[in-house]
Amino acid sequence: MSNERKFSEYKGRSVLITGGLGFVGSNLARRLVEVGDVEVTIIDALLPDQGGNNFNVHDILDRIKIHHGDMRDDWVINHLVGGVDYIFNLAGSVSHLDSMLHPQRDLELNCTAQLTLLEACRSFNPHVKIVFTSTRQVYGKPVYLPLDEQHRVAPLDINGINKLAAEHYHLLYHRVYGVRATCLRLTNTYGPRQLLLHARQGFIAWFIRQALGGGEIELFGEGRQRRDLNYVDDVVDALLLAGASEAAEGEVFNLGGEEPVSLAELADELISLTGRGSVRLVPFPTERQLIDIGNAHSSYKKIETVLGWHPRVPWRAGLARTVEYYRTHREHYWSPNASTLSGPQKAT
């Protein structure tokens, strides 16, 4: 069965996307709108530096509902979960460095908020299907490669610990209360609608900004670290497949790329694509070296076997699409104000 036929499962259904004005969430909302006859609701707190951007959905406002609210507030989330068929739980902080600088805030965003949502589901919609996005960082420094779901988990930072705890919350509510939860461990996701303002939510978007702006791409350790990449459209496919499959319930799946790429290769490709920017080799900052995992890439064999997912977009093609998007829409992503204020707004 093709993915498009599987995605037809969402027709006539209702979907809630937490963090839906952000990078992955907005791309997911757009795909569901394309499926058609799907009631799409977004909740997003538009917290500074977290990636929420009204422009990400500016052209589909008439086909979605948006709630500007904080998932940590039970009075906000309680009335949203009732009667919903699917919840794609993408809200939370993904910055490893920020988690070490502000551990209590990371705890609130990645644990307290998740428990508030799960408690709302237990009380008002105990059999809802939830797909939660976790991170490859839960594995910590690899013992072997590629990383598979049997690899030991030993996060190197607060963010990884809290994401792992949130996974266990979802799986516990599945076992005890019947909430139909699935966890996806994302690797380095990139593509249109990603935050470009700083380097704390992934190196790819920051490299893109530096290249487009004619700046320097700083490579730590000579850029020899090899990582795998997933274009956001492939990640959206994985989310939808996991949501539509009973076989995914109670399971944890890695995503992963076709081939690991060195950071130096990635920087060179961006300079070639943009015709701008340069590379500078710099020593590892102490605060980053302490949480760096070195070479890392994930096996997606399990999700391919169970759900038929595999990455489709080669990294060079994905980078070209991404660069073109930001060339066209640069004004909506370049300045601090643009990240949360650009584009028309529709609130309910």
Average pLDDT over residues 30-59: 95
What is the pLDDT, as a whole number, of residue 210?
96
For residues 300 and 255, the answer to whether their CB atoms sit within 8 Å is yes
Domain boundaries, the chain: 3-341
What is the pLDDT, as a whole number, of residue 344?
43
Residue 19 scores a pLDDT above 50 = yes
The number of beta carbons lying within 10 Å of the beta carbon of residue 106 is: 24
Residue 311 scores a pLDDT above 60 = yes
What is the pLDDT, as a whole number, of residue 342?
47
What is the pLDDT, as a whole number, of residue 287?
67
What is the pLDDT, as a whole number, of residue 116?
98
Classify residue 29 by burial, with Cβ atoms within 10 Å: 0-12, 13-18, 19+. buried
Exposure of 119 in the CB half-sphere (CA atoms within 13 A): 13
What is the pLDDT, as a whole number, of residue 338?
67
The pTM for the full model equals: 0.94
Instruction: Please name the helix (run of DSSP H) or strand (run of DSSP E) that holds residue 151, with its range, or none.
Output: none
pLDDT, tens only, 153-179: 999 999 999 999 999 999 999 999 999
What is the pLDDT, as a whole number, of residue 119?
98
Classify residue 280 by burial, with Cβ atoms within 10 Å: 0-12, 13-18, 19+. exposed
What is the pLDDT, as a whole number, of residue 291?
67
pLDDT, tens only, 185-215: 999 999 999 999 887 777 899 999 999 999 9
Q: What is the dotted CATH code of the domain comprising 3-341?
A: 3.40.50.720
Residue 340 tokens, joined: 């949360």
Classify residue 216 by burial, with Cβ atoms within 10 Å: 0-12, 13-18, 19+. middle
Q: How confident is the model at residue 346 (pLDDT cuts 50, 70, 90)?
A: very low
Q: How confident is the model at residue 294 (pLDDT cuts 50, 70, 90)?
A: confident
Q: How confident is the model at residue 222 (pLDDT cuts 50, 70, 90)?
A: confident
Pairing of strands 216-220, 226-227: unpaired
Q: What is the dihedral sign for C-alpha 133, 29, 33, 318?
A: negative
**Alpha carbon separation from 70 to 19, 29, 73, 76, 112 (Å, rounded):** 9, 19, 6, 7, 11
Q: How confident is the model at residue 3 (pLDDT cuts 50, 70, 90)?
A: confident
**Which runs of consecutive H residues, i.e. helices, occur in the chain?**
3-7, 23-35, 74-81, 96-101, 103-107, 113-124, 158-177, 203-212, 232-244, 263-274, 286-289, 301-307, 315-329, 338-341
